[in-house]
Amino acid sequence: MSLPLRLLACPAREAEGKALSVRLDLPLALYEGALKDCLRALPAAGAALVLEPEGLGLYALDLPGSGAVRVQLDDGALGFRLGAERARHEAVVKACGLLKAPAPLKVFDATAGLLRDACVLAAAGARVRVAERSPVIAALVADGLARAQGHPELLALLAHLEFVPGDSLALLEAMADSADRPAVVYLDPMFPHRDKSALVKKEMRVFRAVVGEDADADALLAPALRAATRRVVVKRPRHAPWLAGRKPSLAQEGKSARFDIYLVAAPAAGV
């Protein structure tokens, strides 16, 4: 951890908090009353992982009042993107080559984050396996997926998602020798740090407080290229250098981000 991380739980979730404490090797503190008052009393550095009645949330202690970062599959902004027709127009779906594929493609998302892109790919029809190596972020993902099970409208989407906590590098290396290789490997490493902190999204600041930078992101590209049967797609800031200094086969640019596409083999006609 690059900065201190604290684990808190409301009394009603004490048992879950104890289990999470063991799994993450963090001391647990129970809070009563208003969570905001408890958070204000903590030093303004690092982050707090909190088991609340409504779910597991991650708070940046240097951003008081900013609210929790959590995996929320039923929120309005993401929900809008998850309609099947809407998902087909998403840039990440086009970059992964899903639109003209003759059958649903298998996609391995090596950088789960808050599951947004993985969910959009699943909504567009892909079979998505998603990994996350940070135990803290993996806990957020697992909690979000568990809560999503209570929403009938999300069950079809969840059937297209498989979450695998673990080191993406090791998983990619194992896939290269597997008979069950993904058609697409998707990489969305943490964007390079910007000097103007106001330009960095709240969740990215929280992620950095917990897991630091993706300093070894370049190491993912080579095993990703060995694992994928069709393409590797890397999400980057528009003006960022290529991952591992390797020029992509083509690039798809948006307003703030770019998708670098590395073609592994010639796709079938029309793809």
Over residues 193-207, the pLDDT tens digits come to 554 444 356 677 777
Is residue 237 scored above 80 in pLDDT? Answer: yes
> Which pLDDT belongs to residue 106?
97
Tell which wins on pLDDT, 260 or 87: 260
Q: Under DSSP, is residue 267 helix (H, G, I), strand (E, B) or coil? A: coil
The whole-model pTM stands at 0.89
Q: Which helix (H) or strand (E) holds 20?
A: helix 14-24
Query: What distances in angstroms separate CA 253 from CA 107, 190, 256, one per listed residue?
Result: 21, 18, 8
List every span in the chain annotated with CATH 3.40.50.150.
76-263
Over residues 219-232, the pLDDT tens digits come to 999 999 999 999 99
> Which pLDDT belongs to residue 191?
62
Classify residue 257 as left (phi > 0), alpha (psi -120 to 50) or beta.
beta
Per DSSP, helices labelled H in 57-167 are: 76-81, 84-87, 91-95, 116-123, 135-148, 155-158
Could you tell me which CATH number the domain at 76-263 has? 3.40.50.150
